[in-house]
């Protein structure tokens, strides 16, 4: 049996290697340690490198599986006489709090007669490099996820766009078709709203899937309150379609174009939570949730009213006085209202709660209304003999505009285009005098086309242009203001006023 006592050759070797950097150790042919440098002794839990003599990997703290792997690699080197390279992850935390990863080279040790008497191993800590590689990989993976998310959202957005556009057109048309019986119009309107609900649900659902790993900063921007409320209400109709709950909206005419400056996601989340609370308070019974919207004296008032079980006055007072409710929610209320109050305070708004047990609840939100933006088109004023060019990639929108303009069609020319390039060719074919009579109603999202709506306005230099779109962002607003044109939300196109001037 081979002695655990190191030979004279190895004694000389140990004197040299004990002080070298990295992790150095040597074993006999039975994988018994004959020596190591001070670094290995330290991470192995020994006071001195001398304490490791006679130990095996099974005496260390890195576990049975790791010890088996180390010994297996030792035996490979002793059996073949070949150098072996390995990468090990040790159950030892480095200074950064991560498990240590070492790259190890094991070589055969020979005596003076050329016989293999053990192995010599040199290991280096590559944890930092591994961490850098991991971070690089995660960064590249995030970039790939983001690119895929963008592409995924484009696909979904196009599908939703294909659904939304004809519905917008139908809702726009139904208001002007007075010859259709009211009962029939109500059925058509309800069916159209249902399709909108499904489209809104699809877009919201797949946005969450596509961007669930991405952190998106809040962005304060002007939003049309009526449009945002309808979008949230559509999602709720879809979500709670199996409950005997009716969702209604009651928006005053003067509030339809009202704008507030707020983070749109935060606003929708707040309204969504309040509607969820209202539904929960009805307790799966037959009931109604109604959204009211009014505009008066520079203030927007949103009222979420339900026919639920209501709240006690003590509970309401505790909320309004910033009291702490340690028992959580009361039938769907509670901490959510504290969050709403914080949001309203942040945006210089107010929260009022009217409720009584058995009598339902009214949550009233008041926000400062932004002065009507210069870029908002609440009316379209055009001259007799104007050429109205309508550019949209959805044929149903064109039919809706035809009906909208039907009372003044004798005084103007309507030109319809689905392709931006075709519209551009037509405009370029006109004389300078004719170009002065052009009024451009143009969609922003011209899917799978060379130009979007803003591109075409820039190319044609037609200042009498309105961007008709539900896609409104700070970036688009900045471009619109620079071009001195206006925006009309497509979902509010049925409400826009037409004026003919001489």
- Tell me the per-residue pLDDT of 194-206, one tens digit each, with 9 for 90 and over: 455 555 555 555 5
Model pLDDT, residue 218: 56
pLDDT at 283 over 50: yes
**pLDDT single digits (tens) 369-422:** 998 889 999 898 888 888 999 999 888 788 888 888 887 666 678 999 999 999
**pLDDT single digits (tens) 463-487:** 899 999 877 888 899 999 999 999 9
Q: Could you tell me the pLDDT band of residue 325, with boundaries at 50, 70 and 90?
A: very low
Which segment of 117-131, 206-220, 418-432 scores lowest on mean pLDDT?
Answer: 206-220
**pLDDT single digits (tens) 141-194:** 666 666 666 555 555 555 555 555 555 555 555 555 555 554 554 445 555 554
Average pLDDT over residues 213-222: 59
Instruction: Please return the burial class of 417, using the count of CB atoms within 10 Å of its CB with bins 0-12, 13-18 and 19+.
Output: buried
Find the radius of gyration of the CA atoms of the chain: 36
Instruction: Please return the burial class of 428, using the count of CB atoms within 10 Å of its CB with bins 0-12, 13-18 and 19+.
Output: exposed
pLDDT at 427 over 90: yes
**Which tokens sit at 117?**
């008497």
**pLDDT single digits (tens) 10-20:** 445 555 555 56
- Residues with Cβ within 8 Å of 398's Cβ and at least 6 positions away in sequence, in order, are 390, 392, 416, 418
Model pLDDT, residue 159: 55
Model pLDDT, residue 276: 87
Average pLDDT over residues 101-113: 87
What is the architecture, at CATH level 2, of domain 217-368? 2-Layer Sandwich (3.30)
**Which tokens sit at 176?**
């002007």
- Sequence spans of domains, the chain: 8-125, 217-368, 379-501
pLDDT at 364 over 50: yes
Other Cβ atoms closer than 10 A to 214 = 10
**pLDDT single digits (tens) 222-276:** 889 998 998 888 878 878 888 999 999 999 988 999 999 998 878 988 898 899 8
Model pLDDT, residue 203: 55
pLDDT at 74 over 90: yes
**pLDDT single digits (tens) 118-137:** 998 888 888 777 767 777 77
Question: SS3 of 45, please?
Answer: coil
Other Cβ atoms closer than 10 A to 44 = 22
**Which tokens sit at 438?**
């052009």
Average pLDDT over residues 79-99: 80
Query: Does residue 469 or residue 291 have the better pLDDT?
Result: 291
- In the chain, pLDDT over 70 holds for what percent of residues? 74
Question: Would you say domain 379-501 falls under CATH 3.40.50.2300?
Answer: yes
Model pLDDT, residue 471: 78
Pick the CATH number of 8-125 from 3.40.50.970, 3.30.450.20, 3.40.50.880, 3.40.50.10800: 3.30.450.20
Model pLDDT, residue 331: 45
**pLDDT single digits (tens) 26-69:** 899 999 998 888 888 888 888 888 898 999 988 887 778 788 88
**Which tokens sit at 267?**
């606003």
pTM equals 0.55
Tokens 């004279």 map to which residue?
8
**Which tokens sit at 203?**
């877009």
- Residues with Cβ within 8 Å of 66's Cβ and at least 6 positions away in sequence, in order, are 57, 88, 90, 91
Residue 489: which of 244, 300, 159, 225 has the closest Cα?
A: 225
Query: Does residue 285 or residue 146 have the better pLDDT?
Result: 285
Residue 215, CB-side half-sphere exposure with 13 Å CA sphere: 1
């Amino acid at each position: 049996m081979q002695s655990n006592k190191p030979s004279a050759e190895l004694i000389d070797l140990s004197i040299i290697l004990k002080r070298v950097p990295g992790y150095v150790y040597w074993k006999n042919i039975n994988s018994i340690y004959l020596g190591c440098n001070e670094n290995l002794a330290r991470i192995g839990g020994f006071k001195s490198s001398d304490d490791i003599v006679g130990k095996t990997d099974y005496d260390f703290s890195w576990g049975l599986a790791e010890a088996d792997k180390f010994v297996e690699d030792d035996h490979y080197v002793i059996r073949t006489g070949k150098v072996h390279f390995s990468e090990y992850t040790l159950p030892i935390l480095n200074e950064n709090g991560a498990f240590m990863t070492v790259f190890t080279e094991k070589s055969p040790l020979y005596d003076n007669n050329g016989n293999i008497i053990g192995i010599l191993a040199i290991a280096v800590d590559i944890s930092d490099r591994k961490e850098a590689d991991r971070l690089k990989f995660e960064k590249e993976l995030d970039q790939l996820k983001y690119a895929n998310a963008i592409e995924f959202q484009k696909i979904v957005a196009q599908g939703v766009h294909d659904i939304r556009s004809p519905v917008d057109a139908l809702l726009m048309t139904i208001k002007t078709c007075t010859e259709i019986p009211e009962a029939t119009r109500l059925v058509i309107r309800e069916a159209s709203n249902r399709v909108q609900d499904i489209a809104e649900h699809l877009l919201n659902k797949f946005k969450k899937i596509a961007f669930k790993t991405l952190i998106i900063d809040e962005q304060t921007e002007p939003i049309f309150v009526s449009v945002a409320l309808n979008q949230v209400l559509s999602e709720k109709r879809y979500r709670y379609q199996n409950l005997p709950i009716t969702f209604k909206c009651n928006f005053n005419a003067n509030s339809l174009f009202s704008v507030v400056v707020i983070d749109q996601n935060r606003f929708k989340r707040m309204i969504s939570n309040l509607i969820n609370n209202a539904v929960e308070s009805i307790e799966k019974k037959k009931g109604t949730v109604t959204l009211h919207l009014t505009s008066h004296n520079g203030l927007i008032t949103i009222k979420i009213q339900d026919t639920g079980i209501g709240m006690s006055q003590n509970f309401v007072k505790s909320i309004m006085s910033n009291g702490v409710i340690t028992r959580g929610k009361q039938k769907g209320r509670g901490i959510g209202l504290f969050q709403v109050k914080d949001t309203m305070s942040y945006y210089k708004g107010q929260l009022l709660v009217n409720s009584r047990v058995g009598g339902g609840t009214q949550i009233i939100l008041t926000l400062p209304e932004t002065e009507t933006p210069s870029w908002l088109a609440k009316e379209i004023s055009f001259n007799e003999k104007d050429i109205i060019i309508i550019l949209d990639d959805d044929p149903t929108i064109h039919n809706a505009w035809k009906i909208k303009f039907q009372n003044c069609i004798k005084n103007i020319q309507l030109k319809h285009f689905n392709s931006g390039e075709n519209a551009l060719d037509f405009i370029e074919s006109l004389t300078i005098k004719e170009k002065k009579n052009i009024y451009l109603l143009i969609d922003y999202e011209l899917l799978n086309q060379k130009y979007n709506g803003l591109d075409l306005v820039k190319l044609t230099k037609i200042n009498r242009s309105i961007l008709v779109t539900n896609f409104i962002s700070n970036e688009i607003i900045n471009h619109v203001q620079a071009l001195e044109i206006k925006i009309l939300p497509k979902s509010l196109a049925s409400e826009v006023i037409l004026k003919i001037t001489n």
